[in-house]
Structure 1
Amino acid sequence: MLLQMEGITKRYGSLIANDRVDFSLQEGEVHALVGENGAGKSTLMRILYGEEQPSEGRIIVGGRERVFATPSDAIAAGIGMVHQHFMLFPSFTVAENIVIGREPKAGVKFDRKAAAEHVKTLSEKFGMPVDPWAKVADCPVGVQQRIEILKVLNQGAKIIILDEPTGALTPLEVEWLLKAIKRLAKQGISFILISHKLNEVLGSADRITVLRDGKVIGSVKASDTDAAALSRMMVGRELAKFERKPVVPGEAILTVDNVTVLGDRGTKPLLDRVSLTVRAGEIVGIAGVSGNGQSELLQVVSGLRRVHSGKVTLGGKDVTGLSAGEFRRAGLAHIPEDRYLWGSAKEESVADNAIMGHLASLSKGGILRKRTIREKVARWIDAFRVKTGSLETKAKHLSGGNMQKLIVAREMAHGTPFVIAAEPTRGVDIGAMETIHEALLKRRDEGGAILLVSSELSEILKLSDRILVLYEGRVAGELSAGDATEEKISFLMAGGSGNETH
């Protein structure tokens, strides 16, 4: 056995994040670690990577007991980690990022040419093509992930921890990555895969270990289980049967009319004459490869970006050029695409994060009504199953999925006629996904208008009544729910004509 983690327990005061966890890994094996948000997966891997120390238990690598006080200790033992949010220097070249800390020298100077040659050889050896001279900032997300993997391979990693590796990838990039993982495993590299995407786990892992409430519920061979069985192990219950009722949409709530947004210095438009309508009682999905105008569209319809030309109408009111606050007052709730950049204040408490945007209704004479706040926030936390130590817990101590559920609960509580749901289930487990999807459909069935932007085609297909595809800042085509398939959407995402999808 290459790796054994025995009886790992991690306590934070009265909170037990890991409770006598056993985990093992064989050479050339892909072992997936799954569980709900807050189940203890990331804590366990931080312990293995030396970012945390266990309260109890031991780690054995290659038959030798090891203590990892820092990540450097773990790296020295052949363990590397690719975090969900990449640890790269965007202004550096690909080669500079990969060899950092192990730079080849010509005398006392960094030898860039030797570094590029070394990276070229390394990428060919492991079948992960990159351009050594390219700037990381100019590389797509999928290539940046390759750079991270090559970086840890260059450090001598025999065990690679991948934390939510497909969260920001396109379908083609996901397919490429999963094949690369299998290919590297055949070369003797072992992988620990943390993921919420059960179909990807089943298609790439040899074994799967399920954590729930910090404990191991079971370890199974991927070939002996399925998504339904894993879901039951993760959440401890049967998931509700999904049902999207047919509805007849009402009046237009959001109208985007011929909107153009120019790039920096008047370069190619980021949005080029985009028009769309979202009506009461419908979910309109926006699909597209990242960087094709989705973020700019979200910023336009939330008041965060001015348009060069065109018009935006919300609830019958012309809101073109108004502030984000005025968009809010016109009837907008906003689940942002980046929960940390746009949606929360990590250093503030759970309660403070929950009442953002609700201050007017939760205060009297300029003084916050603390009892009312506690009662309301407690109800939201209960309804969305947010796991937190208390309302005073700092938001940064919530898992990403629990932070996401808190934001969704907060925004849905506004009861507005229009909701932007941008990547609403990014990085959340299957139980949280069920809760968020139910909330969005409930709002739609009550007559709410929802604009859904998601990199997950399965989510777009599952929730949307209509689907628009953006390509290079333009609407490449529109599909009804009944006519849409992954193949048709993918074709439009690649720049195909809408007329050719039928």
Structure 2
Amino acid sequence: MTRSDHPIGLSVRGATKVYPGTLALDKVDFDVRMGAVNVLVGENGAGKSTLMKTIAGVEQLTQGQIIRNGVPVDFATTRDAERHGIGIVFQELNLFPNMTVAENIFITREKTRFGVDIVSDMQRAEVRRMMERLEHDIDPDTQVGDLRIGQQQIVEIAKALSQDAEILIMDEPTSALSASEVEILFRVIADLKRQGVGIVYISHRLEELIRIGDYITVLRDGRITGTRPMEGVDVAWIVRNMIGSASKDFAKAEEHAFGDEILRTESVSLPSKSGGLAVDNVSVSLRAGEIVGIYGLMGAGRSELFECIIGRHPHSTGKVYLDGADISDRDVAGRIRRGIALIPEDRKAEGLIQILSIRENMSLSSLNAFTRLFDLDLKGESRRVLDFVRRLTIKIASPENPVSSLSGGNQQKVVIGKALMTEPKVLLMDEPSRGVDVGAKAEIFRTMRQLAADGLGILFVTSDLEEVMALSDRIVVMSNGRITGEFDRPDASEEAIVACSAVGHEPDVHLEENVA
């Protein structure tokens, strides 16, 4: 199709957004074409989410204009944007954990009888239809807090679809989805395009942008650096416009000797809320200076294993050893003091306190290091925080700004800094690059390699094959709560890893031969 086949449904002209100490958008022009996927890409902090929030009525422009169907509009609230047919799937999940799936999807838009009584049966039936469309069997009456983060992402997408929006903004919709769930979402997007819906799609997974995009716009430091139809665009073009070069370096390993075993789990098991075992008799080891990647699809039990290692589930069984000492009877605080740190998958809910400053968030787990009798050494705390801000290249105007003012990728770096400030011996990293752009990802991975070279043991979870192959000294594959494969890096192949991740509880002779 040509551009004339995709009429412009919304335009932004001269968009400028100023926060205290930060120019987030600088005279940005952006068009949303209908019946097409309009890709928006850029590094963390480039201004993508800010631009989308102004279109969705969450934020208001300092200067500039939004034009809808040729008419200037002013979106003072999200309701104003919704009335003009604009819906958004936020990068950071915007759900109430103590409410059901159906209640979350229809909140403020409840289906009522005569405007008085909420017709719950009608809402549940509509949710079932949406879940069938999204090819998921999520009960409408399940509390959202009981769902894994990937399932919560599906609920967020269903919530946006329920609005029948003419323009649908998707900000990192696949960041917590498995490969099969991404394919389902792409089928839904293709269906929406056929219906004439204009889709704005933001993602750091560059290959998927090329696959589904019709038009692409690149932001860097709040300015447009490239915009064109997707034909002829490749990853090198995108990265060059994002960061000024075509490099996509995942920090290949520098060879160094591993130390003694630093962490070992023996027969760790955790009952699942839905019956059976979320973690089923898992034994894994980690040496000082080693990076072990755990790969698996959603529901494989990877995150639950990390929660057992950090001591979050006292009812789990099995043993956890650190430096040869049994620490199974220690709680979370005790295991952190012993030298284990966890970077959780959901940074917003489990890694940060949004109302606190960047400094307060980063030092939260290591306050004892700055305690002087009844006072805190605030100068020492600030020096230490700024040191990690520099080491992790976190883009901030001031460490006293609220952490909620940062982009998603920079918030992720704050969580990593918070863990490193505890001076751990073992670092557990659950999807460390989720929602992180290609430049920040390379920085995080280089940091991981340097930490390993300094003797830190790193156990990390990822659903990205490229990452697990590039970073790991050893790869462990999980499926249905069990370890189904283990490979030294030279012996690993993407085909073997994927095959192991699809294994159920029944052993597969051929796979066992591959692992051996």
Which string of whole-angstrom CA distances, capped at 9 and with x for unpartnered residues, describes residues 91-145 of structure 1?
Answer: 5465993697262648965555655666777889xx6556797435488866765
Contact 2:111 2:122 in 1 (8 A): no
Which string of whole-angstrom CA distances, capped at 9 and with x for unpartnered residues, describes residues 267-302 of structure 1?
Answer: 523322211111122111112222332222112211
Deviation, structure 1 residue 237: 4.3
Instruction: State the one-letter code of the partner of 2:252.
Output: E
Deviation, structure 1 residue 12: 2.1
Q: What residue is the counterpart of 2:353 in the other structure?
A: 345
Q: Are 2:492 and 1:467 equivalent residues in the alignment?
A: no
SS at match of 1:210: strand
Q: Are 2:191 and 1:171 equivalent residues in the alignment?
A: no
Which string of whole-angstrom CA distances, capped at 9 and with x for unpartnered residues, describes residues 446-475 of structure 1?
Answer: 232111112323222221122222222221
Distance 1:115 1:275, change over 3 A: closer
**RMSD across aligned positions (CA):** 2.9
SS at match of 2:176: coil
2:60 to 45, 53, 68: 53
Q: What residue is the counterpart of 1:30 in the other structure?
A: 37
Question: How far apart, in 2, do the equivalents of 1:177 and 1:221 lie?
Answer: 22
Unaligned runs of 5+ in 1: none
Question: How far apart, in 2, do the equivalents of 1:144 and 1:415 lie?
Answer: 32
Contact 1:476 1:498 in 2 (8 A): no
Instruction: State the one-letter code of the partner of 2:510.
Output: E
Question: How far apart, in 1, do the equivalents of 2:289 and 2:483 lie?
Answer: 22
Q: Are 2:253 and 1:244 equivalent residues in the alignment?
A: yes
Q: Are 2:167 and 1:135 equivalent residues in the alignment?
A: no
Matches within 5 A, 1:38-117: 38-87=45-94, 92=100, 94=102, 97=105, 101=109, 103=111, 105=113, 109-111=117-119
Contact 1:89 1:136 in 2 (8 A): no
Q: Give the TM-score of the pair, scaled to structure 2.
A: 0.87
Contact 1:5 1:60 in 2 (8 A): yes
Matches within 5 A, 1:451-462: 451-462=459-470
Q: What residue is the counterpart of 2:262 in the other structure?
A: 253
Q: What residue is the counterpart of 2:5 in the other structure?
A: none
Distance 1:106 1:129, change over 3 A: farther
SS at match of 1:33: strand
SS at match of 2:58: coil
Deviation, structure 1 residue 88: 5.2
1:10 to 17, 20, 24: 17
Instruction: State the one-letter code of the partner of 1:493.
Output: S
Question: How far apart, in 2, do the equivalents of 1:95 and 1:248 lie?
Answer: 54
Contact 2:60 2:76 in 1 (8 A): yes
Following superposition, which runs of at least 4 residues in structure 1 exceed 6 angstroms of deviation?
Answer: 116-124, 130-133, 138-143
Contact 2:266 2:319 in 1 (8 A): yes
Question: How far apart, in 2, do the equivalents of 1:411 and 1:238 lie?
Answer: 31
Distance 1:122 1:364, change over 3 A: closer
Q: What residue is the counterpart of 2:450 in the other structure?
A: 442
Q: What residue is the counterpart of 2:322 in the other structure?
A: 314
Question: How far apart, in 2, do the equivalents of 1:303 and 1:93 lie?
Answer: 29
Instruction: State the one-letter code of the partner of 1:135.
Output: D
Instruction: State the one-letter code of the partner of 1:482.
Output: P
Q: Are 2:510 and 1:500 equivalent residues in the alignment?
A: yes
SS at match of 2:386: helix
Question: Percent of pairs identical after alignment?
Answer: 36
Matches within 5 A, 1:18-417: 18-87=25-94, 92=100, 94=102, 97=105, 101=109, 103=111, 105=113, 109-111=117-119, 128=134, 134-135=140-141, 137=143, 148-237=156-245, 239=247, 241=249, 242-263=251-272, 267-306=275-314, 308-417=316-425
Distance 1:238 1:129, change over 3 A: closer
Moved more, 191-200 or 99-108: 99-108
Distance 1:12 1:373, change over 3 A: same
